[in-house]
Structure 1
C-alpha cells in the first residue's frame, strides 16, 4: 500500500460514523487535531511577529482586536448554538433566515467600527495610530456574515473532519500572508492583513465543502425562535467579553499598549494547552450532550468522563507552563519580553481554571439552561470590576492576572460545581474527586521542573527542551504510581478512546 493509500485509509477510519460514542470520539480526534495544528500555526505566527515587530506595534494590534471582539460579542445572538441544540437533525428550513441575520450583523459591526475607530483608538486608548487598523479589521465580520450557513452541520452532525479543512485553511492563509508581509514590512499591518486573509479563505472554503446554497429569504417566526433561544447567549457573550477581555481593555487604557502586548501574549501562550482542550470539550460535547438531554443517566456518565479527561490534561499543562515560563519567554520571544514572565506564571493557573470551567457550560446549554452561563458571568464581571483597579495599580499586569485568577478559584469554580451537581443530579464529591489525582500527579512534576530550571547550566533553548522532557517523564511515572496504589484508572478512558478511533 502506497503512502497516499495509507493516508486515505487513515482518513476513512477517522471519519465520524457509527454510534454516538464512536462518533463523539472520532469527532474529538479531528477537533483535537484541528486545535493542535491551528494553534501551532497561530502561535507560530504570533511568535514570529513578537520577534520581528516587537511589543510596541503588537500593542496597537491588541487595541484593534479588543475593539473588534467587543462589537462581535455585544451583537452575538447564538444562532448556531440554537440550531445545534435543536433535536431535529434537519435544520435547512432555518438556514436562509440565519444567513440574513448574520449578514445584517456583519454590516452593522463593520459600520460601527468604521465610524467609532477614531474615538476608540484616539480618545479611549490614546493611540490614534490604531484607527486604520480597527477599520480594516472591520472587514472580518462582513466577510464571515456572507459565509455558507450550512457549515453549522459540521458541528451539529459531529462532522469535524470538514471543519478541520475550514479552520486550518484559514490559519494557513493567515500564517503565509502575515509572516510574508512582516518579513518585508515589520509593522502591525502584518497581523491585520493575515487576519483578514484568513477570513477571505474561510469564506470560499465554506461554499466549497458544503452543498447548501443560501438565498435571500426571511422567516419572522424562525427568527423569533432563534433569537429567543439566543437571548441568554447574547447576554453571556457580552459578559464573557467583560470578564475575559475586559481585563485586556483595562490594561490598555490604564497602562500602555506595550503592557497590553505583554499581557495578551502571556495570556494566549500560557492558556493555550489547557484552553485548547476546553475548546475541544465545548465544541464536541455540546452537540453530544444535546443528543443525550433526554437520557439523564447517560448525560451524567458523559459529563463525568469529560471532566476526568479535561482535568488530566489541564493540570499538568498549567503547572508545567508556570514552571518553564522563564525559559519559554527567553527562547520564543526574546529578552525584550522578560517583564512578562511573572504574569505568564499566574495566567497559567487561570488557564487551568478556564479549562475546568469550560466543561460546565455545554451541560447547562444542552439541558436548555443557557441562563446559568449568563448569571455566573454576571457575578464574575462584578467581582473583577471591584478588584481590578487596586490590584493593577499596585502590581501592574501581575495584579491584573492575580485578580482574574483568584476570582475563578473562589467563588466561581465552587459555584460552577454546585450548580452542575444540582442540574444533572450528580454529587459534588464526584466532580471534585476528578481533580484530586491529576493534582497529585502534577504538583511534584512542577516542583522538579522548576528546581531543575534554576540550576541548569545550559542556555534557555536547551534548558526548555530538557525541562519539557523531564516534566513528561515525571508526570507519567506519577500517573502510573497513583494508578497502582489507588482505584484511579484514567488509562482505561484512553484505551476506550483508542478503540473507538480504531473501530
Structure 2
C-alpha cells in the first residue's frame, strides 16, 4: 500500500522553508481545484500516510506491549499497578499539551510560521508550569490513592511533561503534511531503547523503578529523534496575533481532550482508589491488548483522518463518502482481531502465571470497549474537521459525568471485597456500558445532526466484519464452556486462536465483497507477476 509520492506535484510533500514570514501553502490542505490538477496525488499521499500511520502505531504498540508483558511476568501485578496509577497522574497534563495545539495546527486551513512560533513557546511555557504543578500535587495524589510510594514515582515521571511539550509542534507539522514515516521511525527507536533499559533494570531488581526508567528513556529518546528528523526550528519570539488565533480553537479542543481522557481513564482511577495496586495491575494487563488492537487497527486510521477529512470540510458529500470508506477499513481490520483476542484471552493471560489469571474475564469484556471504539474512533476527527470541536467537548464531559457515577457505584458496591477477578470484571463491564451508550449518542449527533448523512450508508458496510468477529469469539467460547478442550493453557491458546482466526477470516471473505475483491485482486497481481 505504500507508494512513492511525486513531490513536484503534491504541495503537501515539498520541503518547507519556515524562515519566511509568509503563508505556508505546503502545510495547508490543498483546495479542490489543486486536487483536480494533482490528479491521483492526494490519493497516493493518503495511501502512503495510512501505511506509515499503521507502521507507526504497530511499531510503537508492538514493542511496548512485548516489553509490558515481559515486565509484567518479571515484576507482578503490584509493581505494574503502582506505576500505572502514577502514569495516570502525569498523562493528564501530557494529554492537555497534546490536545491544545496539535489538533489546532493540523486543522487550520491557513497557517503561517508565526502560528508555529507562537504555538511552540506557548506549549513550552505551559509545560514548565504544569511540570512544577504536577510535582507539587504528587503527595496529594499519593494520599488520594492511599499509596505513599506514589509521591516519589510521580515526581520522577514529571520530566515527561516537558519532553512531551518539546514534541508537540514538530509532530503536528509532520502529521499535517501526513508525513508519518519519520514519526514511525522515531517511535520504534524510542520504544525499543526504552524497553531494553526497563527490562535491564527489572533484571537488576529495581521493581517499579524499572517501569519508570522505561517511560523516561522512551520519552527522551523520542524527543531527540523527532527533532533530528524535522527541519523546522522555532524563532525567539511570541507573535501575539498568532497566539490569539490559536488559542480560540485550541481552548475548546483542550477542554474536550481533558474530558475524553478523564472519561476513558476513570476506570483506572476508581480501581486505584477502591481496590489498590494489585487490582490496578491486573486491569492494566486486561486493558493492554484490546487497547493495542484498537490502536493498531483503528486509531492508526484516526491519525490520518483529521487532515484528510479537513481537506474535504467544504464538500459534505465527499466527506461523508470518505468517512464511510475509512470506517469500513477500521471495521475490517479491527473487529475480527478483537473477536480472536476475546476467544484467546483467558489462556493468554494464564501464560503469564497464576497471579495474572483474574485478568482473563476482564480482557474479554474490554474487547467490547475495543469494538465500540472501532466505530467511534473517527467521530471526533469528523467533528473537528468541520470546525465543531465544541460538540466533542460537551459529549466528553457528559461521558465523564456518566462514568464517574457508574464507577463510583461499582466501587462502593465492591468496596471491601478481596476478589480481584470480580473487581476488575465489574469495572470492565461498567466501562463497556458507558462507552457503548456514549458512542451511540455521538453517532446520532455526528451523522444525523451535523454531517446529515445516511447512517446506514456509513455503518452498513461494516456488518460483515462485525459478524466475522462475533463468530470468531462465540465458537471457541462455547467450546471452552463445554470443556471439550483440556490440557495446558498453551494448548488451549493455540486451538482457540487457530479456530477463531479460521472462522473470522472465512466469514469476512465470504460476506464482505470489498475485502474479497481486494484480496483476490492482490492475489491475481502476484500470480500474474509470477
Say whether the fold is shared (TM-score over 0.5).
yes
Matched, 1:151 2:171: yes
Query: CA separation of 1:224/1:498 partners in 2, compared to 1, >3 Å: closer, same or farther?
Result: farther
Query: Partner residue of 1:477?
Result: 506
TM-score by length of 2: 0.86
Deviations 1:18-68 (A, max 9, x none): 622221111111111121121111001110111111111111101210110
Alignment-derived partner of residue 103 in structure 1: 124
Residue 230 in structure 1 maps to residue 250 in structure 2: yes
SS of corresponding position for 1:211: coil
Asked if residue 432 in structure 1 is aligned to residue 495 in structure 2, the reply is no
Q: How does 1:56-455 map to 2 (within 5 A)?
A: 56-74=78-96, 78-88=100-110, 91-121=112-142, 123-147=143-167, 149-331=169-351, 333-392=352-411, 393-394=413-414, 395-453=422-480, 454-455=483-484
Where 2:149 maps in the other structure, the secondary structure is: helix
Give 1:202 shift.
1.6
Which of 472, 486, 491 in structure 1 is aligned with 2:516?
491
Distance in 2 of aligned mates of 1:214 and 1:176:
33
Three-state SS of the structure 2 residue aligned to 1:251 is helix
| 1:53 matched residue in structure 2 | 75
In structure 2, C-alpha distance between the alignment counterparts of 1:398 and 1:189, rounded to whole Å? 28
Higher mean C-alpha deviation, range 47-56 or range 143-152? 143-152
Q: 1:57 to 1:269 in 2, by over 3 A?
A: same
Q: C-alpha displacement at 1:124, in angstroms?
A: 0.5
Are the aligned partners of 1:314 and 1:356 in contact in 2 as well (CA < 8 Å)? no
Query: Take 1:428 and 1:147, find their aligned partners in 2: how far apart are those partners?
Result: 37
Deviations 1:349-374 (Å, cap 9, x if unpaired)?
A: 11111121111111100010111111
Change (3 A) 1:66 1:15: farther
Residues 378-419 of structure 1 deviation map (CA, whole Å, 9 limit, x = unaligned): 221121122222234245222221112112222532442443
Q: Which segments of structure 1 move beyond 6 Å, counting only runs of 4 or more? A: 14-17, 494-499
State the alpha-carbon separation in 1 of the partners of residues 315 and 518 from structure 2: 21
Provide the residue aligned with 2:45 in structure 1: 23
Is residue 148–residue 206 contact of structure 1 (8 Å, CA) maintained in 2?
no
The answer on whether the counterparts of 1:274 and 1:313 sit within 8 Å (CA) in structure 2 is: no
- The 1:415/1:81 distance shift into structure 2, 3 A limit, reads closer
Alpha-carbon contact 2:383-2:392 (below 8 Å) kept: yes
Q: 1:292 to 1:283 in 2, by over 3 A?
A: same
Q: Give TM-score, length-normalised by structure 1.
A: 0.90
What per-residue deviation string (whole Å, max 9, x for no partner) do you get for residues 85-124 of structure 1? 1224x64232221111111121112111221112211x11
Pick closer, same or farther for the CA change 1:430–1:119 going to 2, 3 Å: same
1:160-205 deviation line (CA, Å, top 9, x unaligned): 1111122212111211111111111241111111111112112211
Count the aligned residue pairs.
484
